[in-house]
Amino acid sequence: MAKYIFVTGGVTSSLGKGIIAASLAKLLQARGLGVTIQKFDPYINVDPGTLNPYEHGECYVTEDGAETDLDLGHYERFLNRPTSQANNVTTGRIYQTVINKERAGAYLGKTVQVIPHITDEIKRRATLLEKENNYDIIITEIGGTVGDIESLPYLEALRQLRRELGKENCVVIHLTLIPYLKAAKELKTKPTQHSVKELLQAGIQPDILVCRTEYHLPKELKEKLALFCNVDENSVIEAIDAETIYDVPLLMLKEKLDKIVLKKLNIKNNLEPDLNSWKEFLGKLKNPTKEVNIALVGKYNELQDAYKSIYESFIHAGSINECKVNVFPIHSEMLESGEADAKLKNMDGILVAPGFGERGIAGKLEAIRYVRENKIPFFGICLGMQCAVVEFCKNVLGIKGSNSTEVDPKTSEPVIDLMPEQKNITTKGGTMRLGSYNCKVSKNSISYKAYGKTDISERHRHRYEFNNKYLERMEDAGMMAVGTNPESGLVEIIELKDHPFFVGVQYHPELKSTVENPHPLFVSFIKAALHSK
């Protein structure tokens, strides 16, 4: 039987529940235990696929094509294991299941209610992973902050589950904030006391408090928290602000979070966590011998979370190259009035980001023209690849009206066009080309050199694709389709001949980069940028 750890959050959002959950999971995994993490999101969207990146940041796509919360990205990057649809549950999905069952007559005339029907469905989902796999420990992160109306059914389900499983099989960690009041020069425990009270009202006594703080917590403060919040003194854990999220597993190790959890769950494990490769990664990350400047040309730059996986991929690729990667977010709309050359001139490489819709396209085309003409390393992801094709067809092949039908549905030269199977789709949720697809890579290519193999599989999230009608003309002029899907013939990778590094991919390599497996294309892109310096 698996044991359960639940992580709730108090006081404010954005305290990093996902990072704490992933760090604890890493420590347990490093002790040889089978661990997975799931995220429960209290919003009513069935999944985050229909959300604007400004709302909750990037939409993370799993191997099986689920559009999920970006915390799943952290889980994969930390644990180096894929997640799936089952690892992300939303209130929308819970209600959808219950309502569908009601329509099918499954409740036999009963009144359908939050308790027990919604809570039963939450409990079923919470324990679903156990039935599918042989995990020792399942960590569940409950999104939102305790006290939110939306979180109540989750807390009630947790209360019931804990009663059913027994305390030695189900531990609750509450992540909270200890603010520092500058004027009083004091760390304050009151918000934490209140948020624990809020949990108690829901019938849940947390076992462990993980306290986010800017300053070290003095012993007396820990004692006070333990007394007022009714937890063991050794179960008040300090989570001090870290230089990088990748420090957090080691900080939690120092605080003995893993040991305390194992003791409470009655799991005997005297192994020392094997974190050698993690430490090696951190060592290189913190002691770079060189640096490069990379422009990230996108349109959601105000919010770093919108390109979370890309930023993290640069960190992984930087570490392995022992190179500090300075990423400069550049708003593509700022490049539209002819200053691309001036704005990009100090960059050693340019990545054009994924995205949707017409806004900012002209600036992306300008950035691509600049890197193509000046032989600066270029990496285009999804929309970035599509823009590279449009730019090439326009400016090199001279096909004036070249466009994507996403930008101009009536264009006479649809070099990027809606995939045939997309043409009759009218609903938006979960209907893109999603998840893992195979790709065959030509041997004579930069991508082959990076991957070191011809058969790869990568994750997708798009509706539009390269229009193969233009393939011959494009290749004759030097833009090569070096990766294609063997089943459908869809172009997955384009490269420019006679350019040190010009790679556009229809898929999302950033979703598969982890600490232990930095993505080969990001690694080669950084190498190329170093070279072009």
Binding footprint of ligand GLN, residue count (CB under 6 A): 10
Question: Is 347 or 383 the residue whose CB approaches ligand GLN more closely?
Answer: 383
Give the span between the Cα atoms of 155 and 146, in whole angstroms. 8
Q: 10 Å Cβ neighbour count for 428?
A: 10
> 3-state DSSP call for residue 480?
strand
Question: Is 292 or 505 the residue whose CB approaches ligand GLN more closely?
Answer: 505
Stretch that binds ligand GLN, among 78-86, 142-150, 274-282, 460-468 (CB under 6 A): 460-468
Give the span between the Cα atoms of 305 and 482, in whole angstroms. 31
Query: Which residues lie closer than 8 Å to 393 by C-beta, 6 or more apart?
Result: 399, 402, 413, 415, 470, 474
The single residue among 464, 502, 507, 525 that binds ligand GLN, judged by CB under 6 A, is: 464
Smallest gap from residue 400 Cβ to ligand GLN (A): 22
Residue 57 zone, left/alpha/beta (φ > 0; ψ -120 to 50; rest): left
Question: Is 222 or 461 the residue whose CB approaches ligand GLN more closely?
Answer: 461
Residue 467 CA: distances (Å) to CA of 402, 431, 479: 11, 20, 14
Beta bridge partners of 187: 180
The single residue among 315, 383, 490, 529 that binds ligand GLN, judged by CB under 6 A, is: 383
Smallest gap from residue 389 Cβ to ligand GLN (A): 12
AA letter at 413: E
Q: Is 355 in the site for ligand GLN (CB under 6 A)?
A: yes
Reply yes or no on whether 439 is catalytic.
no
Reply yes or no on whether 382 is catalytic.
yes
Q: Is 206 in the site for ligand GLN (CB under 6 A)?
A: no
Active-site choice (117, 462, 499, 508): 508
Q: Nearest 5°: phi and psi at 277?
A: -70, -35
Show contacts with ligand GLN in window 66-95 (CB under 6 A): none
Stretch that binds ligand GLN, among 93-101, 151-159, 348-356, 521-529 (CB under 6 A): 348-356
Active-site choice (323, 382, 393, 439): 382
The single residue among 117, 316, 461, 527 that binds ligand GLN, judged by CB under 6 A, is: 461
Reply yes or no on whether 130 is catalytic.
no
The one-character DSSP state at 455 is E
The one-character DSSP state at 234 is G
Query: Which residues lie closer than 8 Å to 149 by C-beta, 6 or more apart?
Result: none
Active-site choice (67, 121, 458, 510): 510
Q: Is 382 in the site for ligand GLN (CB under 6 A)?
A: yes
Q: Is 308 in the site for ligand GLN (CB under 6 A)?
A: no
Query: Which residues lie closer than 8 Å to 282 by C-beta, 6 or more apart?
Result: 244, 246, 247, 250, 319
Nearest CA to 307 out of 382, 405, 417 is that of 382
Contact track, ligand GLN, 402-421, x by CB under 6 A: ----x---------------
The single residue among 463, 512, 519, 527 that binds ligand GLN, judged by CB under 6 A, is: 463
In the block, residue with structure tokens 């769950």: 265
Question: Is 354 or 518 the residue whose CB approaches ligand GLN more closely?
Answer: 354
Q: Is 3 in the site for ligand GLN (CB under 6 A)?
A: no
Tokens of 263: 């003791």
Show contacts with ligand GLN in window 491-510 (CB under 6 A): none
Q: 10 Å Cβ neighbour count for 23?
A: 27
Positions marked catalytic: 382, 508, 510
**Residues binding ligand GLN (CB under 6 A):** 354-356, 382-383, 406, 461-464
